[in-house]
Amino acid sequence: MRTLFIQDRNEIDKIIRACKTCYVAMSDEGQPYVLPMNFALAGDTVILHSAQHGRMWETLKKNPRVCINWTLGEELAWQDERNGCSYRVKSKSVNAEGIVEFVEEYDEKVKCLEATMAQYSDREFKFNRPAVVNVGIIRVKIVKITGKEFGAKAVTPWNQ
């Protein structure tokens, strides 16, 4: 079993869209800090939402650089069940590095909330004014994105 790099951006986007949660890593004055979050993917932008206060909000104001991870799959596989080193979790993952931008404009916040809900449902949603005003919206412009498949079947001349 091997680890393969995923080069195709369409395949990378499929992995992201199949996930329900992303993990956002940031640096709080040198201390790593990671949070699970709901998200939306809009081209080369990831949309996140939260309260407009707290450790994450303050950390991102000081250092807007983040890394976001999405992982799909938890199937255990092995080549030799007696050899621990042959065990792998079959999965696909994507890491994206980017820069945070805080969204303040009301209509833009609504668009971001609509995109986020579209990640989870085909239904149309309405958002009341106080909810939109009070939610914190963060856009992350993707600077670098990579994908990997773990536990892939090794390709040999006899199993192609």
Q: Could you give the CA distance from residue 150 to residue 49 in angstroms, rounded to a whole number?
A: 30
Contacts for 99 with CB less than 8 Å, ≥ 6 apart: 64, 65, 66, 140, 141, 143
**pLDDT tens, residue by residue, 8-18:** 999 999 999 99
Contacts for 64 with CB less than 8 Å, ≥ 6 apart: 99, 100, 101
Q: What is the pLDDT of residue 156?
A: 47
Contacts for 39 with CB less than 8 Å, ≥ 6 apart: 21, 22, 46, 47, 48, 68, 116, 119
**pLDDT tens, residue by residue, 122-132:** 999 999 999 99
Q: Is the pLDDT of residue 109 over 60?
A: yes
Its CATH class, for the domain covering 2-152, is mainly beta
Q: Could you give the CA distance from residue 35 to residue 23 in angstroms, rounded to a whole number?
A: 5
Please compute the mean of the pLDDT values over residues 83-112 and round it to a whole number.
88
Strand partners, 146: 95
The pTM is what?
0.87
**pLDDT tens, residue by residue, 25-66:** 999 999 999 999 999 999 999 999 999 999 999 999 999 999
Q: Could you give the CA distance from residue 149 to residue 2 in angstroms, rounded to a whole number?
A: 8
Q: What is the pLDDT of residue 150?
A: 81
Tokens for 113? 């909330």
From the CB of residue 44, how many other CB atoms can be counted at a distance below 10 Å?
Answer: 13
**pLDDT tens, residue by residue, 130-154:** 999 999 999 999 999 999 998 766 5
- Report the mean per-residue pLDDT for the chain: 90
Please compute the mean of the pLDDT values over residues 96-116 and round it to a whole number.
97
Q: What is the pLDDT of residue 80?
A: 60
